Structure 1
């Protein structure tokens, strides 16, 4: 028996070749990180780009472009969310992504995908089905979510925004800590389960009640709000030549009426009831206004909110939008003029 010992030079050469091969693989597998410039294919070629922290961008562009993803370690707090219902929301990551393309691009077919960690979700009481990718609003006061463009891929532990035509913006992974996993609506009445909790600060929070009454509110301090339905409108409390569309008033009370707010309220109306009162076919835009009076008023007349603050949004929405309310407490009705 005998063995052949490899020549030292051959062994060294083999090691160098193998090391070079491994280095090539490592270079191919290295993923970009924050601040790296990413080339975007043109001619509607697919750019499918993963990043070192798990972010993934998938897009088609009609022309060659570049993009950069940066990290924002001090984003708007996660509790300020608009575009959906239910609360509270929490951040599922401690930073947000700011995506910038080298030029304005509104002609893309794109999606953004952010992974979530199941252990982190469990620790914060978030069901994977309640994960969202929020987009910072143009006014920077809320994270906007859109259920129509949202896709949760539970088998791959990620959440996406799909149907995007532009990628410029700021994005963050959010979670809603509710048991319900679809739209969440608030019930009228008193009690802890019927309270809307608002966080004081620079952002906007939204809440929608079971009939479509919706509040979008920025409050300077933390605030709690309940809304009741009170039946019975005394005709003597109506302005001259008007009547109430409904037989009830929405009664809004907060934990501190002195807290200054900036709120938009969308008040739903029933056009069938208007048709019953106005058989001449008068449109809601011509005949409906929201009026209010003090929270504990009994004989005080209702006063119309200035017309300039009201917009009647007809079908399919059928709601009256009231802008710029600085105080919420009071009784509200829809007035037929």
Structure 2
């Protein structure tokens, strides 16, 4: 068993390196060249409630420390997995199902633990949660748990009530919330608050800017543009006051919007006030 701070030799020529650590951490990797790695503990990690890449809060840390892995050189050519141990008795005490355990990777901006749903695997027979299909191991990792009855990715429903409310805890990190149709909020707030989102049926043409119409899914985009190759570039997000009835929707600055074509999304960063009514416009 390896200890923290100990140099671990990584075999080359795609030979298997299977290394267990004294606390139950396990690394399994194949590398084309000989390398070394060191694992350290971070005893003051970012709290576990700041999670991106998955919704369905609340998330919590299930370990008192995080694992920091560093190879002796940049390596993006690995076949690797990491396994973090959990205690099933401890999970029961905090109402977390084994299927709701995750490996979080500290984001580049160090403001959230990123969860990759497609790379998650829970090995119940060994009480370990895995992150698989990795090509690099450099980074900081945390064992996370989600205190919800449902297992796997959780999406928020539109409307009012406790089960349809996003609870933002606030603090020094980032939190995500995704709704059932893909609407996603990424929030950084210094204080706690709650948020609900309602859907209104229909957007009157007389509250939209001239020569625009509202849109709410890619199929409508294809129908309205006859499948134009650059149709997405005609999209923009517009907003008006929360309780407005006759006020026009005003497009947000195009310079403040990022078009994510591969995800069928428009990203609007830098908002300081979320209250309002929003539509996607096509011009």
Aligned-pair CA distance for 1:132: 0.4
Q: Larger deviation: 299-308 or 234-243?
A: 234-243
2:272 matched to which residue of 1? 326
Q: Which runs of 5+ in 1 are unaligned?
A: 1-30, 246-268
CA radius of gyration, larger in: 1
Q: How does 1:193-204 map to 2 (within 5 A)?
A: 193-204=163-174
1:107 matched to which residue of 2? 77
Q: Distance in 1 between matches of 2:2 and 2:227?
A: 66
Q: C-alpha offsets along residues 287-334 of structure 1, whole Å, 9 cap, x if unaligned?
A: 21110011111221111011012233335x322221221111000011
Select the residue among 159, 171, 178 that pairs with 1:208: 178
Q: Normalised by the size of structure 2, how large is the TM-score?
A: 0.96
Return closer, same or farther for 1:241/1:49 CA change in 2, 3 Å cut-off: same
Q: Distance in 1 between matches of 2:5 and 2:271?
A: 42
Aligned-pair CA distance for 1:280: 7.5
- For the 8 Å contact 1:284–1:312, the answer to whether it is kept is no
Q: Normalised by the size of structure 1, how large is the TM-score?
A: 0.81
Q: Does 1:240 align with 2:210?
A: yes
Q: C-alpha offsets along residues 8-35 of structure 1, whole Å, 9 cap, x if unaligned?
A: xxxxxxxxxxxxxxxxxxxxxxx22111
- For the 8 Å contact 1:284–1:314, the answer to whether it is kept is no
2:64 matched to which residue of 1? 94
Q: Distance in 2 between matches of 1:277 and 1:83?
A: 31
2:282 matched to which residue of 1? 336
Q: Does 1:44 align with 2:14?
A: yes
Aligned-pair CA distance for 1:282: 6.8
Secondary structure of the equivalent of 1:98?
strand
1:222 matched to which residue of 2? 192
Secondary structure of the equivalent of 1:193?
helix
Q: Which runs of 5+ in 2 are unaligned?
A: none
Select the residue among 156, 164, 184 that pairs with 2:134: 164
Q: C-alpha offsets along residues 137-189 of structure 1, whole Å, 9 cap, x if unaligned?
A: 11101111111111100011101111111111000110011111022111100
Secondary structure of the equivalent of 2:92?
helix
Q: Distance in 2 between matches of 1:318 and 1:32?
A: 45
Backbone CA RMSD of aligned residues: 1.5
Q: Does 1:80 align with 2:50?
A: yes
Return closer, same or farther for 1:156/1:309 CA change in 2, 3 Å cut-off: same
- Give the count of matched residue pairs: 283
